[in-house]
Amino acid sequence: MDTITPPDGVSRIEHHACFGGWQDVWQHRSPLLGCDMRFGLYLPPQLEKGPCPIVYWLSGLTCSEQNFITKAGAQRVAAELGLVVVVPDTSPRGEGVADDENYDLGQGAGFYVNATEAPWDTHYRMYDYVVAELPALVEKALPFDGRRSVMGHSMGGHGALVVALRNPDRYACASAFAPIVAPSEVPWGRKALTAYLGSNEAHWAAYDACKLVAARAREGRPPLAEILIDQGEDDDFLGVSLTPERFEAECAAAGQPLTLRRQPGYDHSYYFIASFLPEHLAWHAERLGS
């Protein structure tokens, strides 16, 4: 896979041999976001023989693509399973991109929404970026046969659930680590949604996993195929901005297949993610037919 050439307008800024495949970082100008964006791209050795499924990973607050590709230990497992792993940044960045002095808003905290409020609406369209613009770029560059899924952590877990629930025909399954499942009801979410979407809470429902599950059932639409969630029981944010029991209840009421695993002793860190990521990737590979 050393021979894969990034498409026009895309540069490869990192390229590391890793478990028989390659860990790359690519950079491109995003017309949608109006800035340069980077993303991690793991290419497994099986890609030399033909198309492999793609798993999109969405990271949490303060992260870039680097946190996952350097801390999660995904490459060894992805190489064994024949999975491409795509890791976008968490927000637009750069000079002229709106920011905030607090870690939970602005650069590093895009919340995977399409902002409608100034000054965020100029650049912050992360929902469309991860659902449309980035996949179009990646999937055109690689051998690809349409098999994709999505997963994420914390803010990225929120993003993964939202994009999967809103686009069930695009994603075979979704999983998450300690996701923000009810952003309309918790401090992290209410702050971000007010800033990006305004104070009318009716506009928030499109980015709230609990509300999306309930709406699908109410409208008679079929549930997403499957969802897997792991939540550490020693997570400092549990019961504050993380309320997995709310999502569990909504899924039970709606008939949405969900496996929620509570993990004693685990916190919110990448030690938690690295501990259970192999199981998540194997779960995705099974459902993607890898």
Rounded CA gap, 196 and 109, in Å? 11
Q: Is 36 an active-site residue?
A: no
- Residue among 68, 73, 94 nearest 160 (CA): 68
Q: What is the dihedral of CA 196, 36, 180, 148, to 10 degrees?
A: 130
DSSP annotation of 73 reads -
Q: Is 154 an active-site residue?
A: yes
Find all residues with CB under 8 Å of 66, minimum gap 6, and list them.
40
Catalytic residue among 59, 91, 154, 290: 154
Q: Return the structure tokens found at 18.
A: 């890793």
**Sign (positive or negative) of CA dihedral 184, 190, 194, 199:** positive
Instruction: Tell me whether residue 8 is exposed, middle or buried, using C-beta atoms within 10 angstroms of its C-beta: 0 to 12, 13 to 18, 19 or more.
Output: exposed
Instruction: Tell me whether residue 139 is exposed, middle or buried, using C-beta atoms within 10 angstroms of its C-beta: 0 to 12, 13 to 18, 19 or more.
Output: middle
Q: Return the structure tokens found at 39.
A: 């993303």
Catalytic residue among 28, 123, 153, 268: 268
CB 241 within 8 A of CB 186: yes
Q: Is 268 an active-site residue?
A: yes
Catalytic residue among 123, 235, 241, 290: 235
Lookup result for tokens 């695993």: 261
Give the residue numbers marked as catalytic.
Answer: 154, 235, 268
